[in-house]
Chains A and B, each alone.
Chain A
């Protein structure tokens, strides 16, 4: 374990460099630049808000904030995994020329997405002020929840980064999963609106658990049930271990596949 830590410390320059370059290149040649990382979820919010407050009316209280917090949390999941997916395959030129730990691209992708998350959370804060919404003290629990989310996406990112080199169809499959996940996660509806048997299935998804926890502590000022917390922690760490094992299986020879 110490050797991994030492190696990470030695290569921290590359780690931060990748994260920053990902951000910079993401908005290259765009007039609005980094503002897109804020505009994207806001436009998404505008569309969903329009659809679900005019065409399909619902009675969710604080709907704009409910909607935005869900979008932001899901975006973190989507951004980090989709950047990580291509992080190794896009760097083929670099990886065949110099050595660095193969986990660095995946980790830096999650860091890039984390920076975007922080910016988006600031926007959520502005929203709360604008709608004169006073969150209860439980909102501080967002910190451990997002740390948990970080662990969750890190596990997926590690696995996806090597799998996408091995099998290029992983990117298409993952695209569909992300798309389906958006609708199967309580972002623009409340979980309780779903029929019970659907709830029973969907609550197995860690991202559903995370978004629900964000709603609990951020909007309702309540705590999620102990069972769902335990389940989330257990399943997320299992995913981290699986992701790491997949990564470890392929990492040594991944260069030859590029």
Chain B
């Protein structure tokens, strides 16, 4: 986390808390139980007040930022007042928005340039709950998504692909089109190998080469229905060329890493690279050379 914001950075982060009401099996930043709301709130206020007015994007995250309740809403209000043109990105599991009032408040204080990135792990509640490590999480997240949509808050859906959900990626794409047709876009994401993901690797780790069929089918379905879709965190060399234009440079600038073999790759500039925080790299990485 930075001590000062940079205008063009994609990682101007307001970290709200280490606490979370989910225990996602692949969490890269395992939550803590300590009451840290005040500590981070003070830090965040200072960060926002010293930020350049031209800052493009601010990301409010945690842990689960909505757990801080009033302070969460106050923080959004502060950003909106201090940085009226800055886009506010909120990363939340969406559960607390099952309370309609919170969705309403967010819209009220945040205005138009707010979007919430919400992870969805499966179309089947049982699988989602298992991955989120909390029973009832799916239902609350779904109700939260509907409340946000009703208030007109833009929603980005994030699907982290793991061994427990990759097989239903096509079904999930259909589910999203039928039941979450209002989302602004969907990001299908490769896993970061750190935190719980490393600890639970046996149950959840899967190589992109092993799920690329299901991933591409889901991309085809969402794209075919006109829902904007992006592939996050998967280097271009692991994707069929027809799908390169769906891939985004999704990894925060401060934790992007390339391997030595990437130096010879002609697509390096367009590639998301790898997480510097990941313990292991993906299988099958190879540089694109002019003759490739």
Do A and B pair up? The answer is no
A contacts, CB < 8 Å to B: none
B contacts, CB < 8 Å to A: none
